[in-house]
Amino acid sequence: MNENRRVIVAERPRYIVPTVNCFRLETAPMPDCGPGQLRIRTLCLSMDAQLYAKLQRISPDAEPIRLYEAMTGPALGRVEASLHPDFSPGELVSGFWAWQDYVVSNGRRLRKLDFSLQRSTHALSAYGASAFGAYIALQKLAPAEWGETVVVGTALGGLGNIASQIAKAKGCRVVGITGSEEKCQRGMTALGLDDCVSYNAPDFADRVRTACRKGVDVFVDTSGGKVLEAVVPLLQRKARIAACGLMATPHFGEPAFRGRFQNTMSFMFEVINRRITVQGLVIFDHLRQSLRDFHRDMNAWIDSGKIRPMEDIVSGLEQAPRAFQDIFEGRNVGKRLVWISD
């Protein structure tokens, strides 16, 4: 195959959710590598909610991709050709690169996967950005102790399934929150959640209260919105919140959501009154200090069977736009990956 298919950003999201029309599949000639470079065959792409910032400016720290350039994200690949002294054909590498069949790299910010992985996809699920976020949330920002009650938002997603399993490995009672009863059932059987509540249940807040009879010590918040509202009244003294993300943002435009920002006042009142710690997660702040510990602990948890990464794999580069849209509509069950090539 001498051509290089790539997914470009064709337009900005129109209605917040990044739908498939934001992307277009194009074909270009296969790139050659020059001196000091290597060519990588992409094997797998990771669909992360954080990549939204590549499509739309949502923070002053993140520059969106220019229109008609290739979408980028965490990826796994095999070195196919190398004129770089540190890389040889056949080696597995992970990094952050364009959604395309082949990429040329100068080797910077590539990670050689020369340690044993039970499955190569674990590089993006168990050892990827979402899993690292889960680790930082529960080890650093909102540390959970044995016997405490931990509530995990988007519990069957990339970050959530790992956070749920880390909290179980620490001996906590873990209550998952997700978007459907089916996902809840799956979370209880596959992740060992002690309880799980769908935020689409009409009696959602009551059910969260019943599931967290002794209150909530740690909350891994990935959505804000009504999930946050249901959990705040249950927070114990000295509770900790890891503020990881705002998946409920797409609902801001709905009539039912309008005018509800007044709740932030009562939230801050509870933060003060109950001495609650809220820490925001930005994984890049922790790479230097905690990446090595993360790999060590994740190796141990996987070897002992305490963590079984939940993966949701779709096949074909052309499916990447749909696979990405899906995670903003809750259609993934586990870490959503796109398998490109063997």
Ligand X SMILES: NC(=O)c1ccc[n+]([C@@H]2O[C@H](COP(=O)([O-])OP(=O)(O)OC[C@H]3O[C@@H](n4cnc5c(N)ncnc54)[C@H](OP(=O)(O)O)[C@@H]3O)[C@@H](O)[C@H]2O)c1
Binding characters for ligand X, 43-82, by CB under 6 A (x = yes): -----xxx--------------------------------
Does 18 interact with ligand X (rule: CB under 6 A)? no
Q: With b meaning 16 or more CB within 10 Å and e meaning fewer, what string describes 174-211? A: bbbbbbeeebbebbeebbebbbbbbbeeeebbebbbeb
Tokens of 302: 């996987």
| For ligand X, the closer CB: 246 or 271 | 246
Q: What Å distances lie between residue 50 and 4, 76, 149, 239, CA to CA?
A: 26, 17, 27, 26
| For ligand X, the closer CB: 4 or 154 | 154
Q: Which contacts qualify for 252-259: CB closer than 8 Å, 24 or more apart?
A: 252/16, 253/15, 253/16, 257/225
Does 311 interact with ligand X (rule: CB under 6 A)? no
Shortest Cβ 28–ligand X spacing (Å)? 28
Shortest Cβ 41–ligand X spacing (Å)? 24
Tokens of 37: 């470079």
Contact 320, 45 (CB under 8 A): yes
Shortest Cβ 206–ligand X spacing (Å)? 18
Shortest Cβ 51–ligand X spacing (Å)? 8
| For ligand X, the closer CB: 33 or 243 | 243
Binding characters for ligand X, 259-298, by CB under 6 A (x = yes): ----------------------xxx---------------
Binding residue for ligand X (CB under 6 A) from 165, 223, 319, 325? 223
Shortest Cβ 156–ligand X spacing (Å)? 6
Segment 109 to 168, residues that bind ligand X, using CB under 6 A: 129-130, 133, 154, 157-160
- How many positions of this chain bind ligand X (CB under 6 A)? 32
Binding residue for ligand X (CB under 6 A) from 73, 77, 187, 245? 245
Closest of 290, 149, 297 to residue 210, by C-alpha: 149
Shortest Cβ 122–ligand X spacing (Å)? 15
Tokens of 108: 């910077």
What letter does residue 137 receive in the DSSP assignment?
I
**Whole-number Å distance between alpha carbons of 133 and 135:** 5
Does 179 interact with ligand X (rule: CB under 6 A)? yes
Is the alpha carbon torsion for 190, 205, 166, 194 positive or negative?
negative
Contact 198, 178 (CB under 8 A): yes
What letter does residue 238 receive in the DSSP assignment?
E
Does 250 interact with ligand X (rule: CB under 6 A)? yes
List residues near ligand X by CB under 6 A. Answer: 48-50, 129-130, 133, 154, 157-160, 178-179, 183, 222-223, 225, 244-245, 247-248, 250-251, 281-283, 327-328, 330, 332, 335-336
